[in-house]
Amino acid sequence: MEQFDILVIGAGPGGYSLAIAAAKKGLKVAVFEKEHIGGTCLNVGCIPTKYLVDKAATMEKVRALCSKEIFRDAGSFSFKKIIAGKDEVVGKLTGGISFLLKKTGCEVVSGEAVLKPDRVVECAGRTFQGKNIVIATGAETMIIPIPGHELCIDSTQALKLTSLPRSMVVMGGGVIGLELACAFAAYGTEVTIVEMLPEIMGREEKAAVRIVLRSMEALGITVKTSAKMLRVEKDGVLLKAVYKTESGEESSVCEQVLMAVGRKAHLPGIDAQALGLELDAKKCVRVDSRQRTNLEGVYAIGDAAGGLQLAHAAYAEGEKALADILDEEHTDKVPVPVCTYTIPCFARVGLTSKEAREAGYVPALGTFDYGANGMALAEGATGCVFVVADKATTRTLGVTIVGENASELIAFASLAVAEGLTAKQWEAMIVAHPSLSEAIREAALDCFRRSVHKG
């Protein structure tokens, strides 16, 4: 039986980053991966989706310049070349992770790992024992077994399409559905979103969501809310998606139906009942604040442990687990930013104004439109920043940004929320000009009507 300090089951963002960090600390580490290094994020999730969205957003920007007669035309594009470029980026990143694992001395074992009692793992005909086990097996696509579900494609298949569908119905208005809907619509696909809930992005700042909805409408996307998908059926060479709305039964004929109703924890090779491993109500591995399971020396991180299904959340959870293994100090009170890569991008960290009220604060909401920002006007960027502060202390509670570069700007905002910057601290801050970052400071000052550039 081969002995290791840490056995990591799954080489997605949480798993591979923990393994590399542990190896750099001098620990003996083995990583098990049954499919692809990099997991869902690098191969069939975050990275390929963002590649498609980025190229789509670029075309939208060019079209806006054409409407001003700065460019004569938007030109043509090759969807096949876009897909090839996406695959090239994915290959470069996964190859880079493989290189880092090898360079730091991690042993990578290909195959499905089977977790046994006493921290034993069997894989590829070998038996391993670890002082610690980290479950990082990720999540898998949820399938709603409506009649005709086998006619649908999931996000993985959507990212592998080599020809652009002329029409698509997206079942689900969550992050995955919205991002792919925006990308395909910008490429020219006629897109209809069917969402069961009364509104999309229901937990977010309402005014910010309205900006997203207007942008989606401009892309030609039709959004059906309070709509339950009933069935998908053949309609000649096309498909017919049938759904029930408040107005009655409706249908949309299309080339593709994308089922994007979420993801659930995936625990291959892990018989929780036989191991005595506790799961929560959603069948995710139950963990404490240090990512420890109920089994001695066994941790779970990322999508397998529930929580936010985000790569950067998995990174942070891996850091917590490793700190616990090494008996090191670690803080886990830093707010986690959440980004949705629509066109334009949507990002939020901390509380919305509604959440602030529910938490017992008297919130002050400040806003600043991209239209009053010099850099945004120079770049042709549109959007708005929303900042929530506590009226009593003037401390920053949350920031929402919808607009170009929102996913980059939110890092600056995350620090402001983590530190609880006050109005006085915002006033003392010097931000580069011209820059989109100025809009965050202006919105923060607008909470207390101190913004200079807002009337």
- Which of 36, 330, 433, 453 is an active site residue? 433
Residue whose C-alpha is closest to residue 278's, from 310, 306, 241: 306
Convert the chain into a string of H (helix), E (strand) and C (coil): CEEEEEEEECCCHHHHHHHHHHHHCCCCEEEEECCCCCHHHHHHCHHHHHHHHHHHHHHHHHHHHHHCCCCCCCCCCCHHHHHHHHHHHHHHHHHHHHHHHHHCCCEEEECCCEEECCCEEEECCEEEEEEEEEECCCEEECCCCCCCHHHCECHHHHCCCCCCCCEEEEECCCHHHHHHHHHHHHHCCEEEEECCCCCCCCCCCHHHHHHHHHHHHHCCCEEECCCEEEEEEEECCEEEEEEEECCEEEEEEECEEEECCCEEECCCCCCHHHHCCCECCCCCECCCCCCECCCCCEEECHHHHCCCCCHHHHHHHHHHHHHHHCCCCCCCCCCCCEEECCCCCEEEEECCHHHHHHCCCCEEEEEEEHHHCHHHHHHCCCEEEEEEEECCCCCEEEEEEEECCHHHHHHHHHHHHHHCCCHHHHHHCCCCCCCCHHHHHHHHHHCCCCCCCCC
**Residue 433 is among the residues annotated as catalytic for this protein:** yes
Distances from the Cα of 74 to the Cα of 58, 179, 252, 404, angstroms = 10, 22, 29, 19
Rounded CA gap, 54 and 325, in Å? Answer: 39
Which residues belong to the active site? 433
